[in-house]
């Protein structure tokens, strides 16, 4: 799914400064990175990022760690001072902000350094030290929210009027904290919740260990006699192959391996759901969904609109699947293992170097205007990217934009195919979002919500796809890009909304007091697959053996993350349409949305940019796009 880290480590935005407990439970989005492209070319070390922009040496990092640790310890000295005066409140929040800012920079360096080569133990130790520091900061500031609530809205308002820097940097944070009054506990209880943070993160760790390392995996023999050990990346490679028996074999064996752990996987996910439920209850939320949506102040109506509109749009997905069946030449039933082979094969698969990717991305993003493009050119010219795959390097792709005083960094695993090009445009969309927000906002309001983040990146992918279709040299190439564009919508939208429905359903099952077993989850997942893939409509036959797919999806451990990916994609479709139709005014609204960073609630920021995410508009814009792509394929096919 997502390829991004988006605002990694800043996912709590301002909240990271003080709403410690919320942040402890918020997810660093690094886990949303995609599985690596399989079969990338050999290593290259020259196209690598320059981490000395963060710290000149490992020793400089150590020095800063020691200083920041000491500064974190001193933060409790501000306890009890916030009510004294507006200036005293500003001094305390400023000191906390400064510690947090450096703690994040330390964590960014540790994370990036570690991802350069995961085999180096000292890198992992540094990462652990940076995490410990962040936990320490959270503990040392757990008193802040309760103290602000004791001071009360009236006095806080008076302070804000009296002190301009306090208002400008921390006004939104103060509002947000006051809003959380019904869900904020006393200092002692807040501290307990902060301490519980790492314990509540364990189901994800356990799942990852099973999923990525310890699940016993079978070796299969393909029709050409090749033996393949069915790791997760291998499964994701062989499920796409043209040979139907081979991809069915990959499905059967991979899910057969998971079937033996259905109970374990179910218990793991149930424990995660219980943890979400625990936090929600402790904070006096009616449901885990409400608890997850609270930091963004997201109205329930957004989730409901997304699900309603997507269910209403299933005929569009079914139209695509019927076309897929026809194009793949399947004469019996379409199966779940027929989802992944490309719609069109081309003789010479197009290849894109990094220089090609830069040039094409700049051309495809022309609609964003010169300011955006010149900033992008500048980014391209500097050493912000770690481009090629090599032994030991982290898989997938992400943008890390949390080092406010430095610049974004991008980790790619570029292997030259169209997906690599698309990932390139995607991650640079996040980087541009970060640059625009950081230029326009102080540190305390720069970190943006996931809910907006993916509009900036998926929008880029859509503009790129349109550009590739338009500039394709041959009819075959055109069809190839159209097919890739449609499949992206299935995977990044329909699949994510289906995941969202599943995620809500398992939470509701627990909240209704029913037992959550692996078998029960499989049954629920089967129901969703049947609905989405149109079994009753005769579109696809769902094999119960594959209804265990929930077991390997890491995103169910990210506390209602997936639906934001889908809404963002709809937002991206809405804005790219508007910009192409309207030009400059729509472009400015969109760029201002990016510049706004985390200065307000994401739903309100979208609204200010001209789109209400609780209405059908953005979802229908995305479906119109999908139908346009389908129309284009059918028109080209008709010419054949
Ligand atoms: Zn992304």
Contacts of 226 (CB under 8 A, 6+ apart): none
Alpha carbon of 520 to ligand 1 centroid (Å): 32
Res 43: pLDDT: 39
Report how far residue 375's alpha carbon sits from residue 155's, in angstroms, rounded to the nearest whole number. Answer: 42
What SS3 state is found at 155?
Answer: helix
What mean pLDDT, rounded, does the chain reach?
A: 90
List the catalytic residues: 427
Report how far residue 560's alpha carbon sits from residue 576's, in angstroms, rounded to the nearest whole number. Answer: 26
pLDDT tens for each residue of 36-86: 333 333 334 447 999 999 999 999 999 999 999 999 999 999 999 999 999
Alpha carbon of 426 to ligand 1 centroid (Å): 6
pLDDT score of 453 more than 90: yes
pLDDT tens for each residue of 240-271: 999 999 999 999 999 999 999 999 999 999 99
Crossing angle of the two packed helices 617-639 and 300-312, in degrees rounded to 10: 20
Alpha carbon of 397 to ligand 1 centroid (Å): 9
Q: What is the mean pLDDT of residues 310-333?
A: 97
Alpha carbon of 5 to ligand 1 centroid (Å): 6
Res 613: pLDDT: 97
Contacts of 332 (CB under 8 A, 6+ apart): none
Report how far residue 226's alpha carbon sits from residue 95's, in angstroms, rounded to the nearest whole number. Answer: 61
Q: What is the mean pLDDT of residues 498-502?
A: 97
pLDDT tens for each residue of 402-411: 999 999 999 9
Residue 263 tokens, joined = 């109970």
Alpha carbon of 66 to ligand 1 centroid (Å): 33
Q: What is the largest CA-CA distance in the chain?
A: 78
Give φ, ψ of 141 to 5 degrees: -120, 10
pLDDT score of 363 more than 50: yes
Alpha carbon of 407 to ligand 1 centroid (Å): 17
What are the CA-CA distances from residue 199 to residues 12, 25, 194, 552 (Å)? Answer: 19, 10, 10, 21
Alpha carbon of 4 to ligand 1 centroid (Å): 3
Alpha carbon of 571 to ligand 1 centroid (Å): 13
Split at pLDDT 50, 70, 90, the class of 27 is: very low
Give φ, ψ of 49 to 5 degrees: -75, 160
Alpha carbon of 458 to ligand 1 centroid (Å): 7
Alpha carbon of 522 to ligand 1 centroid (Å): 28
Report how far residue 482's alpha carbon sits from residue 579's, in angstroms, rounded to the nearest whole number. Answer: 21
- Among residues 439, 433, 406, 462, which one has the least CA distance to residue 602? 433
Report how far residue 214's alpha carbon sits from residue 140's, in angstroms, rounded to the nearest whole number. Answer: 37
What SS3 state is found at 15?
Answer: helix
Q: What's the length of the chain?
A: 640
Torsion angle, CA of 303/435/490/250, rounded to 10 degrees? -120
Alpha carbon of 599 to ligand 1 centroid (Å): 20
Report how far residue 114's alpha carbon sits from residue 125's, in angstroms, rounded to the nearest whole number. Answer: 9
Q: What is the mean pLDDT of residues 143-162?
A: 96
Report how far residue 213's alpha carbon sits from residue 509's, in angstroms, rounded to the nearest whole number. Answer: 30
- Pairing of β 219-221 and β 227-229: antiparallel
Report how far residue 414's alpha carbon sits from residue 41's, in angstroms, rounded to the nearest whole number. Answer: 9
Res 353: pLDDT: 95
Contacts of 407 (CB under 8 A, 6+ apart): 53, 379, 382, 384, 435
What are the CA-CA distances from residue 624 to residues 445, 483, 491 (Å)? Answer: 35, 16, 17
Query: Beta-carbon neighbour count of residue 532 at 10 Å?
Result: 23
Report how far residue 109's alpha carbon sits from residue 114's, in angstroms, rounded to the nearest whole number. Answer: 8
pLDDT score of 626 more than 80: yes
Alpha carbon of 29 to ligand 1 centroid (Å): 10
Report how far residue 462's alpha carbon sits from residue 486's, in angstroms, rounded to the nearest whole number. Answer: 10
- Among residues 423, 431, 426, which one has the least CA distance to residue 403? 431
pLDDT tens for each residue of 175-231: 999 999 999 888 789 888 888 877 898 999 899 889 888 899 999 999 999 999 998
What SS3 state is found at 541?
Answer: strand
Res 571: pLDDT: 96
Alpha carbon of 597 to ligand 1 centroid (Å): 15
Alpha carbon of 567 to ligand 1 centroid (Å): 13
Report how far residue 552's alpha carbon sits from residue 529's, in angstroms, rounded to the nearest whole number. Answer: 15
pLDDT tens for each residue of 269-296: 999 999 999 999 999 999 999 999 999 9
Alpha carbon of 598 to ligand 1 centroid (Å): 17
Task: Please name the residue ranges forming H helices in 472-516.
Answer: 475-489, 495-511
Alpha carbon of 430 to ligand 1 centroid (Å): 7
Confirm if 496 and 1 have CB atoms less than 8 A apart: yes
- Among residues 252, 264, 212, 220, which one has the least CA distance to residue 546? 252
3-state secondary structure 229-287: ECCHHHHHHHCCCCCHHHHHHHHHHHHHHHHCCHHHHHHHHHHHHHHHHHHHHHCCCCC
Res 12: pLDDT: 31
Report how far residue 637's alpha carbon sits from residue 639's, in angstroms, rounded to the nearest whole number. Answer: 5
Alpha carbon of 448 to ligand 1 centroid (Å): 13
Q: Which of 1-5, 210-214, 284-288, 535-539 has the lowest mean pLDDT?
A: 1-5
Q: Return the exposure string of 188-200: e unless at least 16 CB atoms fall within 10 Å of the residue's CB, then b.
A: eebbebbebbeeb
Report how far residue 267's alpha carbon sits from residue 442's, in angstroms, rounded to the nearest whole number. Answer: 43
Split at pLDDT 50, 70, 90, the class of 639 is: confident
Report how far residue 479's alpha carbon sits from residue 633's, in angstroms, rounded to the nearest whole number. Answer: 6
Split at pLDDT 50, 70, 90, the class of 32 is: very low
Res 324: pLDDT: 97
Distance of CA 282 to the CA centre of its chain: 26
Alpha carbon of 398 to ligand 1 centroid (Å): 7
Res 594: pLDDT: 97
Split at pLDDT 50, 70, 90, the class of 233 is: confident
Alpha carbon of 41 to ligand 1 centroid (Å): 23
């Amino acid at each position: 799914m997502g390829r991004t880290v988006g605002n990694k480590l800043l996912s709590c935005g301002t909240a990271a400064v003080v709403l410690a407990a919320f942040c402890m439970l918020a997810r660093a989005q690094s886990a949303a990175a995609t599985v690596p492209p399989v079969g990338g070319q050999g290593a290259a070390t020259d196209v690598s990022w320059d981490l000395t922009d963060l710290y000149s040496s490992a020793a400089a990092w150590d020095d800063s760690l020691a200083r920041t640790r000491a500064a974190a310890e001193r933060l409790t000295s501000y306890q009890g001072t916030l009510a004294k005066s507006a200036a005293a409140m500003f001094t305390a929040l400023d000191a906390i902000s400064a510690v947090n800012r450096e703690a994040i920079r330390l964590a960014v360096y540790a994370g990036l350094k570690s991802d350069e080569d995961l085999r180096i133990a000292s890198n992992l130790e540094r990462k652990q030290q940076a995490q410990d520091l962040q936990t320490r900061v959270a503990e040392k500031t757990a008193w802040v929210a309760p103290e602000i609530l004791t001071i009360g809205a009236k006095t806080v308002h008076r302070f804000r009027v009296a002190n301009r820097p306090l208002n400008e940097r921390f006004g939104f944070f103060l509002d947000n904290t006051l809003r959380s009054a019904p869900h904020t506990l006393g200092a002692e209880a807040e501290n307990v919740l902060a301490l519980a943070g790492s314990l509540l993160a364990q189901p994800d760790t356990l799942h990852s260990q099973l999923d990525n390392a310890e699940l016993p995996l079978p070796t299969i023999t393909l029709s050409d006699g090749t033996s393949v050990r069915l790791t997760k990346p291998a499964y994701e490679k062989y499920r796409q192959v043209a040979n139907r028996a081979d991809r069915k074999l990959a499905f059967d064996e991979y899910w057969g391996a998971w079937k033996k752990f259905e109970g374990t996987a179910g218990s793991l996910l149930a424990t995660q759901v219980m943890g979400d439920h625990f936090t929600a209850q402790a904070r006096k939320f009616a449901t885990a969904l409400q608890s997850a949506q609270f930091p963004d102040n997201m109205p329930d109506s957004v989730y409901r609109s997304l699900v309603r509109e997507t269910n209403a749009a299933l005929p569009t997905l079914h139209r695509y699947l019927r076309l897929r069946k026809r194009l793949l030449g399947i004469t019996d039933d379409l199966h779940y293992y027929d989802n992944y082979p490309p719609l069109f094969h081309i003789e010479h698969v197009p290849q894109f170097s990094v220089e090609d990717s830069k040039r094409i991305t700049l051309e495809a993003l022309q609609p964003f205007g010169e300011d955006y493009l010149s900033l992008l050119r500048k980014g391209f010219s500097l050493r912000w990217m770690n481009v090629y795959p090599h032994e030991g390097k982290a898989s997938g792709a992400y943008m890390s934009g949390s080092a406010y005083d430095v610049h974004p960094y991008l980790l790619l695993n570029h292997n030259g195919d169209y997906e690599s090009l698309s990932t390139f445009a995607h991650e640079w969309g996040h980087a541009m979002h970060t640059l625009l927000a950081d230029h326009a906002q102080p540190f305390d309001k720069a970190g943006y919500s996931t809910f907006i983040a993916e509009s900036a990146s998926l929008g880029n992918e859509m503009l790129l796809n349109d550009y590739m279709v338009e500039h394709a040299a041959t009819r075959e190439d055109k069809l190839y890009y159209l097919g890739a564009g449609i499949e992206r919508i299935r995977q990044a939208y329909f699949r994510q909304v289906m995941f969202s429905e599943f995620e809500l359903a398992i939470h509701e099952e627990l909240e209704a007091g029913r037992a959550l077993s692996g078998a029960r989850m499989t049954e629920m997942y089967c129901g969703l697959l049947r609905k989405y893939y149109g079994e009753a409509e005769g579109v696809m036959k769902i094999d119960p053996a594959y209804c265990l797919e929930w077991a390997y999806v890491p995103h169910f451990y990210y506390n209602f993350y997936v639906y934001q990916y889908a809404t963002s994609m709809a937002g991206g479709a809405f804005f790219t349409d508007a910009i192409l139709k309207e030009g400059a005014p729509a472009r400015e609204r969109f760029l201002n949305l990016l510049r706004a960073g985390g200065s307000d609630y994401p739903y309100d920021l979208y609204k200010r940019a001209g789109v209400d995410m609780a209405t059908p508009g953005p979802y229908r814009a995305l479906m119109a796009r999908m139908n346009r792509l389908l129309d284009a394929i059918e028109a080209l096919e008709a010419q054949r």
